[in-house]
Homo-oligomer: A and B are copies of this chain.
Amino acid sequence: MTATDLLDLASVFVFALSGALVASRQQLDPVGFGFVACLTALGGGTLRDLLLDRNPVFWIAEPHSILAALLAAALVFLIAPRLESRYKAIRWLDAVALSSAVVAGVSAAHETGQSPMIVTIMGMITGCFGGLMRDVVCNDVPLVLRHGEFYVTAALAGSVTSALLALVIADSTVYLLAGAAVTFALRGGSLLFGWKLPNYRHEPPKQ
């Protein structure tokens, strides 16, 4: 099991928790919990593997990813009343998942010898697209469009950090941890202090 596999597994479990929590809001049945959890947990890495032509995709190569996602769904189904009152905790878990998914994407793209730009993009895609698929399927406003949040930006910053450090540092533990730390710090800062980039504002005509 490589570093990419371990990082995938960690982000899969926590993303699956967030997907199952969305399923609990939609009051789905147990199979629906598993479905949304798997979509959220596996979607970003699957898209990355298709784009990079990594064969087989990670959850076909390592099916315990699927078991981890289903375990998370079962956990949430059983104890969601307690978890729901801990919505804040879930957002923090989601920040952990985002951080590990971003560097899982960086690691996978780096392994296949991509340029820093493609490595950066694969980090973002792995981090962001699972949640995007969850939101689209569940008819939510996707995170990428929510105002006053720092989500894609946190993924981008961590991904760039990791991709650039990988050029000068040979030890993958260092550059992956650094990327995860940057993503988590920015996402956490956004949750704690409302950090965000300035939104585009249309100049009102004839002010």
- Interface, chain A (partner B; CB < 8 A): 23-24, 26-33, 35-36, 46, 50-53, 55-57, 60, 63, 66, 77, 80-81, 84, 114-115, 117-118, 121, 132, 136-139, 141-142, 144-145, 147, 152-153, 156, 196-203
Rounded to whole angstroms, the CA-CA distance of A172 and B81 in the bound complex is: 45
Q: In the complex, which of the residues B30, B144, B153 contacts A137, with contact meaning CB atoms closer than 8 Å?
A: B144
Whether B147 lies near A137 (C-beta < 8 A) is no
Q: In the complex, which of the residues B32, B118, B196, B201 contacts A152, with contact meaning CB atoms closer than 8 Å?
A: B32
Whether B137 lies near A132 (C-beta < 8 A) is yes
Return A43 CB to nearest CB of chain B, in Å: 12
Return A98 CB to nearest CB of chain B, in Å: 14
Once A27-B200, A137-B142, A145-B138 are accepted as A-B contacts, the answer to whether A121 and B50 lie under 8 Å apart by CB is: no
Whether A118 lies near B63 (C-beta < 8 A) is yes
Rounded to whole angstroms, the CA-CA distance of A202 and B56 in the bound complex is: 39
